[in-house]
Amino acid sequence: MTDYEKMMSKRQALMKSSLHLDYEKFELEGIAFDYEKMMDDAGYTFEEVQKIQVENHVGQTPLVELKNITEYARKFAKPGFGARIFLKDEALNLSGSFKARRAAISVYHAKKFGYKGVVAATSGNYGAAVAAMAARFKLNCIIVQEVFDSSEKNQPEIIEKARACEAYGAEVIQLSVGPELFYEFLHILEETGYFNASLYSPYGVKGIETLGYEIAEEMLKKEGKYPEVVIATNAGGGNLTGTARGLKYYGATSTKVIGASVDLTGLHMASDHDFNLKSFTTGHTGFGIPFATFPDRSDVPRSAARPLRYMDEYVLVNQGAVFFITEALSLLEGMERGPAGNTSLAAAFSMAQELPEDHIIVVQESEYTGAGKHFNSQIAFAKSQGIKLLFGNPLDEIPGKNLIFPKSGSMVKHKSLDMNQLKMSYLKRYKGHQFKDVEYKYLSDELRLDQKTIIEMVGKINES
């Protein structure tokens, strides 16, 4: 047995000890598990989560109407159309993103149960969020990042996030792209005995429920109704899952929840060759689609991020369109914000033109920007990698080959994915499996489909 295989064989035991959570308690027959029991066993009421966050400068961020962006979108809409666009300005959280909501609960939990430090495997904003919270709670912090390809070229956005982590006192371990990330992560957990501040634990996802709750609460207070649409940038699925759960908790059950990702079709995120051909390190299809169709591919036995349970629609936008709307937000609203939140803003700008002007779309997060996170750095890096920079129709963009910037806002368009195809992809992993009633019940909740439809889909898969 190789060292890698030995470490993987310890995964379940390490997860149990490093998360203070026994996942085996939630397992049912076959593929089924009790999702809600897992979320409840995290041990925090909604009110407790709110209190922890408020005490640590997290949450209660403003909900801002983007009047000038809305006016711009209406230039391209037919009369009577052009929904109002609002933005939940999460960049004002401690550490500069909504990830502070996740980190607050995870790090609090680590402190509560006597862990000496926390570890997180992330190349995104979550690393800075965990590091900032660890500093507040006087815990050690290690952040493990995928940064380089084999030629030692690095993503400027990831390097900026490493800088932020180190500013908060964290140790940052940087690796090249590949399977060594999870191996190294497990090795650190075993060696240190630190808490696993996973993005995909119930603690992290419960932390985001307050975001959806605040959107529903503030919108009802401001406008006397819930928003018709909330758009969440989708990567690993926790952002959308937690937001949707918070909306429902407050009563906004009719609000449509839409996931948005940057279209990086054709680029493989585990490929050394493809790693630096993208201009977005998160919120893209390389994470969004695999984690939607196989959520338990994460660093915990059962992921609390399960977007197909909550997503009404999944839309894609292109890199060039997101860069365009990032600059529009700065020039029209005086808000310089980072690329991840602006993915859902680009989708909102396009969708607003198709909805009546009395409808409300909420973009549910923004993030800080600067240094390597700024779009100028990402565009310069793309050019250095041989990516062609063009003006034209962003929908003609070929990821890894070019960046196509729209000549005007009229060309910022989204495209919708087939939700049933995503659900079919989820089910394909179980080809040939004989399902029991408890498994069908689980899949009905997981995929928001009735048992008859699931049986029909499984039949088609088994015949293929």
pLDDT digits (tens, 9 = 90+) for 65-114: 999 999 999 999 999 999 999 999 999 999 999 999 999 999 999 999 99
Does position 130 have pLDDT exceeding 90, yes or no? yes
User: For residue 156, what are the domain limits?
Assistant: 3-11+97-200
Query: Mean per-residue pLDDT for 317-345?
Result: 96
pLDDT band at 282 (very low <50, low <70, confident <90, very high): confident
pLDDT value at residue 152: 86
What gap in Å lies between CA 300 and CA 196, rounded to an integer?
Answer: 9
- In the predicted structure, residue 323 carries a pLDDT above the cut 90: yes
Residue 167 in domain: yes
Q: What is the mean pLDDT of residues 360-366?
A: 98
Question: What's the pLDDT tens digit per position in 211-240?
Answer: 999 999 999 999 999 999 999 999 999 999
Q: Identify whether 22 is part of a domain.
A: no
Query: Residue 60: what pLDDT?
Result: 97
Write the DSSP symbol of residue 27: B
Burial 382-398 (b: 16+ CB within 10 A, else e): beeeebeeeeeebbebe
**Tally of structural domains, the chain:** 3
Q: For residues 112-123, give the mean pLDDT.
A: 95
Confidence bin at 150 (pLDDT 50/70/90): confident
Query: pTM here?
Result: 0.96
pLDDT at 1: 74
Q: Residue 3 above 80 pLDDT?
A: no
Q: Are residues 230 and 209 in the same domain?
A: yes
Do 263 and 115 lie in one domain? The reply is no
Q: Is residue 410 part of a domain?
A: yes
* Same domain for 365 and 270: yes
pLDDT for residue 97: 96
Give the model's pLDDT for residue 191. Answer: 94
Non-local (6+) Cβ contacts of 318 within 8 A are 262, 263, 394, 395, 397, 404
Give me the percent of the chain exceeding a pLDDT of 90. 82
Whether residues 400 and 454 share a domain: the answer is no
Please check whether residue 413 is in contact with residue 3, taking contact to mean a CB–CB distance below 8 angstroms.
Answer: no
Q: What is the per-residue pLDDT for 11?
A: 79
pLDDT value for 49: 97
* pLDDT tens per residue, range 9-45: 877 788 888 988 889 999 999 999 999 999 999 999 9
Between 255 and 371, where is the model more confident? 255
Residue 179 pLDDT exceeds 80? no
CATH value at residue 191:
3.40.50.1100
Kindly state whether residues 144 and 207 are assigned to the same domain.
no
CA neighbor of 227 nearest in space, from 207, 257, 260: 257
Pairing status of strand 195-196 against strand 117-121: parallel
pLDDT value at residue 215: 98
Q: How confident is the model at residue 435 (pLDDT cuts 50, 70, 90)?
A: very high
> What is the average pLDDT value for the chain, to the nearest integer?
94
The verdict on residue 424 lying in a domain is: no
